[in-house]
Copies of this chain bind each other. A is one copy, B any other.
Amino acid sequence: MRASQFFISTLKEAPADADIVSQKLMLRAGMIRKVGAGIYSWMPMGLRALRKVEAIVREEMNRAGAIEISMPVVQPAALWQETGRWDKMGEELLRFKDRHDRDFVIQPTSEEVVTDIVRGELKSYRQLPKNFYQIQTKFRDERRPRFGVMRGREFTMKDAYSFDRSAEDALKSYDNMFAAYQRVFDRMGLTYRAVAADTGAIGGDRSHEFQVIADTGEDAIVYCPDSDYAANIELAEALAPESARQAPGAEMQKVSTPGVKTIDELVAFLSCDIKETVKAVVVEGDAEDKLPVLLLVRGDHELNEIKGEKLAGVAKPLTFAAPESIVAAFGAQPGSLGPVGFKGKIYADRSVAVMADMVVGGNEDDVHLTGVNFGRDLPEPEVADIRNVLEGDASPDGKGVLAIQRGIEVGHVFYLGTKYSKEMGATFLDMDGKPKHFEMGCYGIGVSRILGAAIEQNHDERGIIWTDALAPFTVVIVPMGMKRSEAVADAAEALYQGLLAKGVDVLLDDRDERPGVLLADSELIGIPHRVVIGDRSLKEGKVEYQHRRDADKTELAAADVLDFMFGKLGI
């Protein structure tokens, strides 16, 4: 592509409302333009990179035997009512009425439509397994769209859905997709980690997220450097401490703690170790009266809400108790709550269960209790893993200690079981002639999000650094003063034609701009390979090559540049 026939539109500064580096760089490099909150146009430069992602995803889906279809963006509510998602999903699901006052949604995913297709099309076990995928526009009406294309409202997603005879076969389909996802992200040259993830409300027992590693990631990823253990922090198990509980060493005492509301204030006030304190979190119960349930974690630990939500008797989704019901149940305001004397259900984290001589809230405003011991001052609690793991915790596989990284979720594979096929009555005739519900899996890749994640992982102060696989152009030729020097123009054109002939995505930057602008733009846009052809060096038979990651230029004989580039590109 010649720049003069393309559209390059870079900005010196990102708009003030851009809130993360990838968004700033995508705006500055002219990849996207904002149309509304969380809604973007893809400009020519961005669209080229997006198509690279789509092509890799499509190739690997096809290679894995998945079959491409395309389901509508606008979908009738009736299908969503069959699975109950019409009611269950929150305001992220964009609902509207058509001119005849009929209800519709804009698809955030397509489980309903694909299951509707399959119940009409697949009649026999002989047609299984099948995996249908699409690369389509999705919409999720985020309350607070942010991070550019990473948490936009309109986005492009690849969603695949597998249909199998049995759970065993479904897990084979799952593994097949898992491997395809590895190929996708390997080919893109991204540093990523596949981590076990929570299966949430859907249930089923297998789910993995593919996380691109980046300090700015929204997700915390837990892994063990000494083994292949890796999980989302939502799922990562915190083992019980190895040490057993010590015998009580102190009497329970009431302590006046005026104005003390937080654990930090408590530790400072009592000059105690934070590991002696216990945080009390009050959540709604799942009975009709919503009678509160008390969750206890050690002062230095954080409640894991996903784990908490799974506890018997706890309302789903997890809901923190309202102040009124806290005061009614405990006789005190938050800040002084504790387990002693509480008549409702109590869950203690595994780390709390081994504590002795605890410091807890006194259920009386501005009062705490010290020297509190289970079995003596209050009954033995129900014990569960309800906290987030910390760096240095023992790995659940017993092979070392845990480390934590930040990640950006770009893919998710999910074994669904028969949830949707049962809700929608989707069956096939099995070998024994009897109808059976399809065993399903669903598999998403955030196609547009990948570009944001790749930039979060790969950039510097000058701009984006693309991998060859994702770059809008693989090579940029920057002729210095092409208009003034015929030799420069000829050399640039010869290299351009030589690369084009081998199918290389090459940009010849023939814009009539100052050299400084051309060089800065190529770095901002992040094209991995750059050849600069200058009048003076060309007279000495030289041109310059620089990879976007290189600190320095490499001087080359002009005559060798094409072969040199073929070598760099592995062609």
A interface list, Cβ under 8 A from B: 5-7, 9, 33, 35-36, 39-44, 47, 50, 65, 67-76, 78-79, 91, 94, 96-99, 104, 106, 113, 116-117, 120-121, 130, 132, 137, 139, 141, 143, 153-154
Contact = CB atoms under 8 A, between A and B. Distances in A.
Nearest to A42: B70
A72 B7 contact: no
B41 A76 contact: no
A117 B67 CA distance: 36
11 contacts: A7-B67, A7-B130, A33-B121, A35-B113, A35-B116, A36-B78, A44-B67, A44-B69, A50-B70, A96-B97, A106-B106
Nearest to A96: B96
Q: Taking each of A74, A78, A113, A141, which has the highest tally of chain B beta carbons within 10 Å of its own beta carbon?
A: A74
Given A94-B98, A117-B33, A143-B99, A43 B69 contact: yes
Contact of A9 (B68, B97, B121, B137): B121
Contacts of A143: 99
Contact of A47 (B68, B78, B130): B68
A184 B120 CA distance: 36
A41 B117 contact: yes
Given A43-B69, A74-B139, 10 more contacts: A6-B67, A9-B121, A35-B113, A36-B76, A36-B78, A39-B76, A44-B68, A47-B69, A47-B70, A73-B106
Contacts of A76: 35-36, 39
A137 B73 contact: yes
Contacts of A78: 36
Contacts of A72: 35-36, 39-41, 154
B39 A75 contact: yes
A69 B74 CA distance: 22
A116 B68 CA distance: 34
Given A35-B72, A154-B73, A99 B91 contact: yes
Contacts of A47: 68-70
Contacts of A139: 73-74
Contact of A113 (B41, B68, B104, B121): B41
A561 B98 CA distance: 54
A550 B560 CA distance: 56
A385 to B, nearest CB: 35
A409 B412 CA distance: 42
Contacts of A42: 69-71
A281 to B, nearest CB: 28
B69 A5 contact: no
Contacts of A98: 94, 141, 153
Nearest to A143: B99
Contacts of A141: 98-99
A130 B41 CA distance: 17
A96 B154 CA distance: 15
Nearest to A106: B74
A363 B346 CA distance: 91
A39 B99 CA distance: 14
A113 B40 CA distance: 10
A56 B525 CA distance: 29
